[in-house]
Amino acid sequence: MDKLYAIARENIKNSYSPYSKFAVSAVLELKDGTLFKGVNVENAAYGLCNCAERSAIYSAYSQGVRKADIRRIFIYTDHAYFVSPCGSCRQVMRELMEDDARIVLANNKGETKEYRNAELLPAAFTEGDL
């Protein structure tokens, strides 16, 4: 986990967050150890922004990764408190990652909190509801 922390902390500098000034970094780890990094990317038209979690997941999916391949996602913010994924990210994670995949939140004090994916969005709307 120290490796993921170091990568996420270094990656946060790639965030493009001139409006919120709230940088977020995510590192998606596959079961084979492959890593995909993501950061939040803002836009003056706020609805066009993309969160770090979705950036990492979409990057992985664009290269053929699927939910069974994913071990966990590590989410870092440069704050002393923990920041949980937004609702949009929770919905994407719930559909594109297995329910038992791990969601790890990290703060700038080196502390982490870990959740199962299904815990962050109980009673989710999924492909089974269609």
Active site residues: 53
CA-based nearest residue to 72, from 58, 50, 53: 53
Residue with tokens 């704050």: 79
